[in-house]
């Protein structure tokens, strides 16, 4: 439970300058993984922060608390209570907050991010996570909920309900990323993110992004392959709800043993 207290933050290591917040505070547990664990010098920590703190605000606090994390935090992924979280998300009291680099897709130093989330897709944050100093081009495909469909028989959509078999979906996203790298070795970063839950027309539902040093090295083709392949083998489904009723939308691709 949150309580009233004075919170103290050092502005720089070893100095006596600080900011005091006399409002209520909450306790959270930090979990560090991979390179962030090494730079923080520990795997976990328990700290007190102001009640109502957001993920982006926490990163600013951690930059002062752990100066060695400064270069890692802009692209660090954050999970709050085992769910991906973004800068504007509120952190609840007694939350487990995990910080880790982009999930590795088995491609050495090149970043790969894949996730199933019920949070809004933050294009800027996801693009930063797959951008390297050598990156000069990015191709991004974003699927959206249509309010009106003109292909075939015209019909209206009030909203879509997406659901996924999450563990398998994330494993298949990794497979899609691996296939992209096999076909286009010049691709640097890959991001594959699918949103689930209740989504209104105009809302982005899926994001495929590929980065490379130059625009003519396969990023367009790789992004197109990524969305087409996702539709084939990643177990995500949607229910379409319109003025005349609702129905599940099913595909017509049946995976083979090679999938």
User: Does 257 reside within a domain?
Assistant: no
Give every CB contact of residue 54 below 8 A, 6+ residues apart in sequence: 87, 88, 89, 90, 91
Give the domain CATH number at 71: 3.10.20.30
φ and ψ of 16, to 5 deg = -110, 15
The pLDDT of residue 23: 66
The pLDDT of residue 1: 42
Domain-ending residue, one of 45, 68, 100 = 100
CA distance 94 to 71: 27
Residues 165 and 234 in one domain: yes
User: Does 171 reside within a domain?
Assistant: yes
CA distance 209 to 223: 6
User: Does 259 reside within a domain?
Assistant: no
Residues 43 and 163 in one domain: no
Domain-ending residue, one of 100, 131, 146 = 100
Task: Find out whether 206 and 145 touch, Cβ atoms under 8 Å.
Answer: no
Domain-ending residue, one of 43, 77, 100 = 100
The pLDDT of residue 50: 94
User: Does 256 reside within a domain?
Assistant: no
Residues 121 and 208 in one domain: yes
Give the domain CATH number at 229: 3.90.1170.40
User: Does 106 reside within a domain?
Assistant: no
The radius of gyration of the chain from alpha carbons, rounded to an integer in Å, stands at 21
Residues 209 and 167 in one domain: yes
Residues 52 and 116 in one domain: no
Residues 168 and 96 in one domain: no
Residues 40 and 129 in one domain: no
> Per residue of the chain (259 residues), what is the pLDDT tens digit?
444 443 433 333 443 333 444 469 999 999 998 778 888 999 899 999 999 999 999 999 999 999 999 888 887 888 888 777 888 999 999 999 988 776 544 445 688 998 899 888 888 888 988 999 999 999 999 999 999 988 778 889 999 999 888 888 888 899 999 999 999 999 999 999 999 999 999 999 999 999 999 999 999 999 999 999 999 988 888 889 999 898 887 677 766 777 7
Q: Residue written as tokens 């974003």?
A: 142
The pLDDT of residue 254: 65
Residues 60 and 34 in one domain: yes
User: Does 151 reside within a domain?
Assistant: yes
Residues 133 and 232 in one domain: yes
φ and ψ of 198, to 5 deg = -85, 120
User: Does 255 reside within a domain?
Assistant: no
Residues 150 and 88 in one domain: no
Total domains in the fold of the chain: 2
User: Does 200 reside within a domain?
Assistant: yes
Residues 155 and 46 in one domain: no
Residues 237 and 116 in one domain: yes
Q: What is the DSSP letter of 23?
A: S
Q: What is the domain range of residue 25?
A: 3-100
Q: How many CA atoms lie within 13 A of 189 on its CB side?
A: 26
């Amino acid at each position: 439970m949150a309580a009233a207290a004075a919170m103290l933050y050092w502005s720089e290591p070893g100095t006596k300058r600080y900011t005091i917040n006399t409002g209520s505070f909450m306790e959270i547990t930090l979990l560090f993984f991979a390179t962030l664990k090494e730079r923080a010098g520990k795997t976990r920590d328990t700290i007190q922060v102001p009640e109502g703190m957001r993920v982006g605000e926490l990163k600013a606090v951690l930059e002062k608390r752990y100066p060695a994390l400064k270069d890692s935090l802009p692209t660090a992924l954050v999970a709050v209570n085992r769910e991906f979280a973004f800068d504007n998300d509120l952190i609840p009291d007694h939350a487990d907050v995990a910080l880790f680099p982009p999930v590795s897709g088995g491609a050495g130093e090149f970043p790969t991010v894949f996730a199933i989330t019920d949070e809004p897709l933050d294009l800027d944050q996801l693009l930063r996570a797959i951008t390297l100093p050598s990156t000069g081009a990015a191709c991004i495909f974003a699927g959206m909920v249509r309010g009106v469909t003109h292909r075939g028989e015209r019909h209206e959509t009030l909203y879509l309900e997406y659901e996924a078999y999450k563990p398998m979906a994330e494993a298949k996203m990794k497979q899609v990323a691996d296939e992209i790298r096999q076909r286009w070795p010049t691709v640097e970063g890959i991001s594959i993110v699918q949103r689930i839950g209740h989504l209104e027309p105009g809302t982005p539902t899926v994001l495929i992004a590929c980065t490379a040093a130059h625009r003519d090295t396969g990023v367009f083709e790789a992004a197109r392959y990524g969305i087409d392949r996702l539709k084939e083998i990643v177990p995500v489904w949607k229910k379409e709800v319109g003025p005349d009723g609702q129905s599940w939308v099913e595909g017509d691709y049946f995976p083979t043993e090679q999938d």
